[in-house]
Chain A
């Protein structure tokens, strides 16, 4: 059974700074990985699929990289609307989310 982990659990960042979020799978999921953003009281929003492809309408400041077991979501310059919880999700096997990383204001 695949286990997904995300680090850090909380990331404190100042607006305009770069944020780097990590996601790790306990076994290879190839490039079958997605990233989502969730704000309080809202459904998640798809940011990245296929590990590195931005979903429709997602700003270029969001980028994804990695394959196999190690993945990264980078937000190049944090805007006020980017403070949220971010989840990775693998879909190589039974779909499974990571526990999330909360990005808050420093």
Chain B
């Protein structure tokens, strides 16, 4: 069965950095676009970034552009999010997500359980 397991969240000071990881299993990881989606406490969902199956294409929300970098290692079935220059407003649960149709950033059919990132001094 499809599993997405995030790790790497935690408490970090404003201006700090954090790297999130997502371990994927149960499907051919290299066939799918993957995304990071976040949810601030008590708030709605915000798409953060997505990456194409071969890493040739990435895109970012304006709110994180220039600070966050998405990457993947298809040999390790892993997705990453490097987060730099973190701000209080980046505090959220970060979900790793698989594109439902595989070939483009569209709807999401599988989500991880989420990892909490808290940015506070």
Contacts and interface: CB of A to CB of B under 8 A. Distances in A.
Given A34-B107, A49-B100, A94 B45 contact: no
Interface stretch (B70-78, B81-89, B108-116): B108-116
A36 B95 CA distance: 14
A49 B106 contact: yes
Contact of B107 (A46, A96, A99): A46
A91 B107 contact: yes
Contacts of A99: 44
A44 B100 contact: no
Interface residues of A, number: 21
A55 B109 contact: yes
A94 B64 CA distance: 14
B45 A44 contact: yes
B105 interface: yes
Contact of A95 (B95, B106, B114): B106
B46 interface: yes
B59 A94 contact: yes
Interface residues of B, number: 21
B27 interface: no
A49 B107 CA distance: 7
Interface string B27-66: 0000000010000000011110010000000010100000
A87 B45 contact: yes
Given A95-B47, A97-B45, A89 B111 contact: no
Contacts of B95: 43
25 contacts: A34-B100, A34-B108, A36-B45, A36-B108, A43-B111, A43-B114, A44-B45, A44-B111, A46-B100, A46-B108, A49-B100, A49-B101, A49-B107, A55-B109, A91-B104, A91-B106, A94-B47, A94-B61, A95-B35, A95-B50, A95-B105, A96-B47, A97-B46, A99-B44, A100-B44
